[in-house]
Amino acid sequence: MEKIKIERLRELDEKTLRRLVEVYMRGYEGLEEYGGEGEDYARKYILWCWKRAPDGFFVAKAGNEIVGFIVCDRDWFSKYEGRVVGAIHEFVVDKSWQGKGIGKKLLKTCIDFLSKHNDRIELWVGEKNESAMKLYERHGFRKIGKSGIWVRMIRDGQNL
Ligand SMILES: CC(C)(COP(=O)(O)OP(=O)(O)OC[C@H]1O[C@@H](n2cnc3c(N)ncnc32)[C@H](O)[C@@H]1OP(=O)(O)O)[C@@H](O)C(=O)NCCC(=O)NCCS
């Protein structure tokens, strides 16, 4: 397989945004309940992520092509925690690139980044998204609560 590089996204121009939307739409194929609201939603959501976490937006690249991304916010006020924690707002790999270790690389980069700033990381994952939950658990996250179809998971500093 082509070597995968993880980089911080430096600039979100129109071409990059289009590619991120494509990765998002393809990544969530089969999991539409949790991320398949459509391209317009994806576009707005990715722009929101970029605004929230411009220093924690990491992309995985195969050559020059973006094949996955993760958005790591080090300044997220969690209403469940009543304080600021680190948060993973989005994490997705293009369908045809899944299962090759790219997600693991992105998640490790994100945990390294957030653990420099936060003693707790929070995320929400779809209740039937077993493979993502397993991946998070293998990286020190645990399930802590639920809201509707979403499961809240956290990872504490002492696990870092
Ligand atoms: C979750 C996601 C980002 C993981 O990315 P990935 O590149 O496929 O992950 P990896 O290849 O690093 O695999 C991670 C682990 O999951 C396992 N895995 C990956 N794809 C799998 C599959 N289809 N079936 C079973 N196991 C799988 C791998 O064996 C690996 O296990 P290991 O840690 O024991 O080696 C990706 O599957 C995805 O984009 N899913 C849709 C979006 C999503 O659910 N995001 C999370 C929202 S909270």
54 to each of 31, 48, 92, 100, 148, how far by Cα in Å?
Answer: 26, 10, 17, 26, 29
pLDDT confidence of residue 36: 65
Q: Is 96 in the pocket of ligand 1 (CB under 6 A)?
A: no
pLDDT confidence of residue 33: 79
The average pLDDT across 15-31 equals: 95
Residue nearest to ligand 1 atom 15, measured at CA:
135
Pocket residue to mutate for ligand 1, from 23, 24, 29, 104, most atoms within 8 A of Cβ: 104
pLDDT at 28 over 80: yes
Burial per residue of 29-65, b for 16 or more beta-carbon CB atoms within 10 angstroms, e otherwise: eeeeebbeeeeeebeebbeebbebbeebbbbbbbeee
The average pLDDT across 76-91 equals: 97
pLDDT at 30 over 90: no
Q: Is 125 in the pocket of ligand 1 (CB under 6 A)?
A: yes
pLDDT confidence of residue 72: 98
Band of pLDDT at residue 159, cut at 50, 70 and 90: very low
- Architecture per CATH, domain 4-159, reads as 3-Layer(aba) Sandwich (3.40)
Residue nearest to ligand 1 atom 7, measured at CA:
103
Q: Is 4 in the pocket of ligand 1 (CB under 6 A)?
A: no
pLDDT confidence of residue 34: 79
Locate 60 and state its tokens.
Answer: 């995985």
Spans of all domains in the chain: 4-159
pTM of the model: 0.94
pLDDT at 145 over 80: yes
Ligand 1 atom index nearest CA of 123? 48
The average pLDDT across 130-139 equals: 96
